Amino acid sequence: MVLRFTPSGIYCPAGDFHIDPWRPVNRALITHGHADHARHGHARYLATDIAAPVMRHRLGAIKLDTLCYGEERRIGGATVSFHPAGHIPGSAQIRVEVKGEVWVVSGDYKTAPDSLSTPFEPVRCHSFITECTFGLPVFTWPTETEAAQEINDWWAANASAGRFSLLGAYSLGKAQRILSLLDPSIAQILTHGAVEQTNNVLRAQGYDMPPTLHVTPDLKPADHPGALVLAPPAALGSTWARRFRPASTGFASGWMRLRGVRRRRSVDRGFVMSDHADWDGLNAAISDTGAENVYTTHGYTDIFASWLKDQGYNARAVPTEFTGESEEDSIL
């Protein structure tokens, strides 16, 4: 087998490296900078050039080598390359070829384009290890334009009613994607420190985002009536958020598609927006790889694997003990 599932993560015997391992290893290939994929403690890292600044920001002084999308690298008996996954800026699928047999590890991916990350590209392979966080037919996403419209309408209505708009979104990826969709003519955009730090890293890389104001202790909310405040989900119910009153709260996530989850978060508004592929996206992506063997990880793996078997694939779920937890899972 080109790749194997081990207690440390996905392992390539021919090249003696791991992909997104969750225990410290000698050489780690990293699909993207989210904390559940890019972990501390590996001796050497390899990632895309675009993902590198965020990884350095999050992991500090690491020994990190980079590749551009599509660039090939020989590691032992394996040839590896990184391909756009459309999840967040710099996110990649990792292609591994050993003696003509090609495997692709999807990492987290999203097939619909957004305004920030390099659009997803299907990669032909024999075996595809795919995430399926939202691998159920109930998960389908509205278009980027519809989502933007819904958020801006909500913000504008709040602003005209004299309310703040407190919007929760993961500080790497989702927050910047939302930023790029906001209409800055409505009012000021304020950011939580965790979001602003990531903004600065991505701005320095040349990503274009509307101007934001970092919420510091001396900031007076009253100076920014109707502002939209972008913060990590955990900050929404905290004392930090209490200075913005009155406020309407919102949360942007694929989980907001489910009424029950929306109610559990007890926010005023749930916006259906995910950095993961929806049901149609997953199915299209898998079909485009031309793969015969499909391994499902993260999410509804058993159900999705059964569905793929029905569709004629040789599919199986990667056992839980060989998968970490996705950020969207753990945040709930």
Partner 1 sequence: MKRFTDLYTTIDQTTKTTVKVDALTEYFRAAPEADRLWTIALFSGRRPRRAITTTKLREWAAEQAGIPLWLFEESYGIVGDLAETIALVLPPATQDHDAPLTDWIEQMRALDDADDDTRKSAILGAWDQMTPRERLVFNKLLTGGFRVGVSRKLMTRALARATHRDEAELAHRLMGDWTPDTTTFTDLIEAPDDAAALSRPYPFCLAYGLDETPPEELGHPGDWCAEWKWDGIRGQLITRGGAHFVWSRGEELMTDRFPELAVARDLLPPGTVIDGEIVAWTGTAPLPFNDLQKRIGRKTVPKTLLKRAPVIVLGYDLLEDGGEDIRARPFAERRARLDALMQGLPENAPLRLSPLIAFKTWDDLRQHRATAREQRAEGLMLKRADSPYHAGRKKGDWWKWKLDPLTIDAVMIYAQQGHGRRANLFTDFTFAVWSGNDLVPFTKAYSGLTDTEFRQITAWVRKNTQQRFGPVRQVTPEHVFEIAFEGIHESPRHKSGVALRFPRMKRWRHDKPVQEANTLDDLRAILAQYG
Give the binding site for partner 1 (CB under 8 A). 136-140, 255, 257-264, 266, 268-270, 300, 302-303, 306-307, 310, 320-321, 325, 329-330, 332
CB of 176 to partner 1, least distance (A): 25
In angstroms, how far is CA 267 from the centroid of its own chain? 22
Altogether, the residues listed in the chain come to a count of 332
CB of 154 to partner 1, least distance (A): 11
CB of 330 to partner 1, least distance (A): 7
Closer to partner 1 at the Cβ: 75 or 112? 112
Strand partners, 79: 74, 97
CB of 268 to partner 1, least distance (A): 6
Closer to partner 1 at the Cβ: 97 or 278? 278
Q: How far apart are CA 108 and CA 131, in angstroms?
A: 6
Closer to partner 1 at the Cβ: 219 or 303? 303
CB of 121 to partner 1, least distance (A): 27
CB of 325 to partner 1, least distance (A): 6
Structure-block tokens of residue 275: 């950095």
Closer to partner 1 at the Cβ: 292 or 329? 329
Closer to partner 1 at the Cβ: 20 or 196? 20
Q: Cα separations (Å) of 309 from 117, 297, 313?
A: 31, 15, 5
CB of 258 to partner 1, least distance (A): 6
Contact 255, 156 (CB under 8 A): no
Q: How far apart are CA 311 and CA 283, in angstroms?
A: 10
Exposure class string for 206-241: b at 16+ Cβ within 10 A, else e: ebebeebeebeeeeeeeebebbbbbbbbebbeeeeb
Name residue, tokens 């701005």. 203
Sequence-separated (6 or more) residues with CB below 8 Å from residue 69: 48, 50, 82, 83, 84, 92, 118
Q: How far apart are CA 298 and CA 131, in angstroms?
A: 5
Contact 88, 202 (CB under 8 A): no
Return the number of other C-beta atoms located less than 10 Å from residue 321's C-beta: 7
Q: How far apart are CA 121 and CA 80, in angstroms?
A: 16
Closer to partner 1 at the Cβ: 26 or 266? 266
Closer to partner 1 at the Cβ: 194 or 261? 261
